Structure 1
Amino acid sequence: MLTLKRTLFWSLSTLLLSTGSAVAADLEVTDARLRLLPGDLPGAGYFTLHNRGDSAVTLTGAGSEAFSKVMMHVSTEEDGMAKMHRVERVDIDPGEDFTFAPKGHHLMFMQRTKALAVGDSVDVTFTFKAHDPLPVTFDVVSPAAQ
């Protein structure tokens, strides 16, 4: 049943994305890469989101058929200890860029649903508050890649 729900969700997302969006034309993602760890360890997603529009956008999450969970996190250092916290939203002002990078904001890709290898690509759909979803293709890279 879960597989059917997931398939229906992604089918509906694809249908909605195929109708086009002015917002998508104002948003661009570059350098999207997923650092893949061995086994079922979580992977980390990095990219830069460019808001070329004339209004702020709020990134609220992401999803992918290749993973059961995709969450936004931020890494910080407190008292010499590295910590990671979940982030519910990221606001990007008009004309601004926001970079998800090592030791900062990143996507956590958890619980793979299919086999992946370095060199593969993964389709991810970004979700926004009050804006249409944005499909993005991530390149799968080694854990040593930045």
Structure 2
Amino acid sequence: MPIRDTLTRLPRRLAGSLLALLLSSGAAQAADLDVSEARLRLMPGDLPGAGYFQLHNTGDEAVTLVGADSEAYGKVMLHMTVSEDGMSSMHAVSELEVASGDTLEFAPRGYHLMLMKRAHPLAVGDEVEVTLEFAGDRRLPVTFDVVSPRSL
């Protein structure tokens, strides 16, 4: 193979490798969005999983998270855990706005993704792609690390 062909392919391979590395580390970025610490709490059997992450808006305008989707689950919903009079309950959330410069945390006992109807078996250590959906038909794929409930 001529040296010129090798040199023109190198930047594409390097860019592809860097993208794969970023996505496999539980982080993803779009021009003005940064997702970090993406973890999926795996529960036994057919119990729903929960997705936790931090969403930082580095842009100049607010963004609105309106949903999520994953081929690994039949249904993904935005949820919030609410504690009232010593009792905790979960409620579906239709959308969440993240102001410019703000970070929205998805964590146990707070906002989280509820992942239901697992499409295939998963194990701790696997990775699951979840696409975050924003107003204006904007989508951001994020790789979640599958973790044990005890690790959270």
TM interval, shorter chain, is 0.7 to 0.9
Contact 1:24/1:132, CA 8 A, preserved across alignment? no
**What RMSD, in angstroms, separates the aligned Cα atoms of the two structures?**
1.1
Q: Which runs of 4+ in 1 moved over 2 A?
A: none
* AA at the equivalent of 1:81: M
What is the aligned partner in structure 1 of residue 85 from structure 2? 79
Contact 1:70/1:107, CA 8 A, preserved across alignment? yes
* AA at the equivalent of 1:128: F
What is the aligned partner in structure 2 of residue 115 from structure 1? 121
What is the aligned partner in structure 2 of residue 57 from structure 1? 63
Instruction: Say which of 139, 142, 145 aligns to 1:133.
Output: 139
Q: 2:102 matched to 1:96?
A: yes
- Which structure has the larger Rg? 2
What is the aligned partner in structure 2 of residue 41 from structure 1? 47
Task: Give unmatched runs, 5+ long, in structure 1.
Answer: 1-22
**CA distance in structure 1 between the aligned counterparts of 2:94 and 2:130, rounded to whole angstroms:** 17
Paired residue total: 124
What is the aligned partner in structure 1 of residue 9 from structure 2? none
Contact 1:127/1:134, CA 8 A, preserved across alignment? yes
Instruction: Say which of 31, 37, 41 aligns to 1:31.
Output: 37
Q: What is the TM-score with the length of structure 1 in the denominator? A: 0.83
Q: Deviations over 1:51-84 (max 9, x none)?
A: 0000000000000000000001000111111111
Task: Give unmatched runs, 5+ long, in structure 2.
Answer: 1-28
